[in-house]
Structure 1
Amino acid sequence: MYQGSHSINMDAKGRMAIPAKYRDDLAADCAGRIVMTAHTQDRCVLLYPEPEWQNILPKIEALPTFNKAALRAQRMLIGYACALELDGNGRILVPPTLREYAGLEKKLMLVGLGKKFELWSEDAWFASVADLASDDELPDEMLSLSL
């Protein structure tokens, strides 16, 4: 399970190092192979261990193509998907198309969300977190939680 948020840097070539905390887990879970794609609702990037991506890909492909929102989700998730492998130093090269999509520059935030990660520009991450405080409605599923 991936959790927590980590401030990381991307170099001028678009490479970023996965925090050491996750490298061993990723090596065990997927031999360092991940799939990176665009988030459909936020300007950030999703990172999936390859086996997790293989589990959800058929569900994405099964979405109804006559529904415009579903077709857009397919185009975003599958169209931007890029298979990557950690190099010997635990780095990955973020594809230019995804860097542009999410506005990724030097300062990034890698956020663990259970079975996947989100990769944000640091400024967009902090703006998104601040914006969450202004939401009034909680989904029904949240109302039954006791924290």
Structure 2
Amino acid sequence: MPKRYRESIADACDNNLVATIDLHSPCLLIYTQDEWEVIERKLMALPNMDPNARLVQRMLLGYASEIEMDSQGRLLLPSLLREHAKLDKQALLLGQGNKFELWSQDAWDQQRPEMLTQVQTLEVSGSLSSLSL
């Protein structure tokens, strides 16, 4: 974890984080414990009889793992999560507001050109129309 985030993470959640898979990309999502609890409540509120909701619950909750950041800012990730994100030696951490995305450098390098093309050609939906940068 980059040094600039360590103090705020320690203050927010006493270094307790939760990592799970991203459903759309070969990366991991890392939340502070309190942020994860919000997500978990939303997931558990989904209707169990909806097969799509059950699948999302199964994947996000099933892969969720509590992890602790040590004093050096290191995170010990379970092998199942490392395999999903194809994490090896080089990794990239992206801040995403209420969470981080953890990518292998190779996966990021492979996905980035496609993501840039997609964002440049996407149609602006209602939820994005009010966004001004």
Do they fold alike, i.e. is TM over 0.5? Answer: yes
The alpha-carbon deviation at position 133 of structure 1 amounts to 2.4
- Answer with 118-127 or 102-111: which moved more: 118-127
Instruction: Number of aligned residue pairs: give it.
Output: 130
Q: Which amino acid aligns with 2:75?
A: I
**Higher RCO (Cα < 8 Å, 6 or more apart):** 1
C-alpha RMSD of matched pairs (Å): 1.3
State how far apart, in whole Å, the 2-side matches of 1:142 and 1:37 are: 26
The structure with more strand, counted as a fraction of residues: 1
Q: What is aligned with 2:40?
A: 57
TM-score (norm: length of structure 2): 0.90
| 2:131 is the counterpart of 1:145 | yes
What are the superposed Cα offsets for residues 13-32 of structure 1, whole Å, 9 maximum, x if unpaired?
A: xxxxx111111110011110
- 2:26 paired residue among 15, 30, 43: 43
TM-score of the two chains, using structure 1 as the length reference = 0.82
User: Identity across aligned pairs (percent)?
Assistant: 41
Q: For 1:54 and 1:110, locate their aligned partners in 2 and report how far apart those are by CA, in whole Å.
A: 21
More helix by share: 2
Structure 2: gaps spanning 5 or more residues = none
* Cα distance in 2 for residues equivalent to 1:52 and 1:126: 28
Cα distance in 2 for residues equivalent to 1:127 and 1:89: 29
- Name stretches of at least 5 consecutive residues in structure 1 with no aligned partner: 1-17
Q: 1:25 is matched with which residue?
A: 8
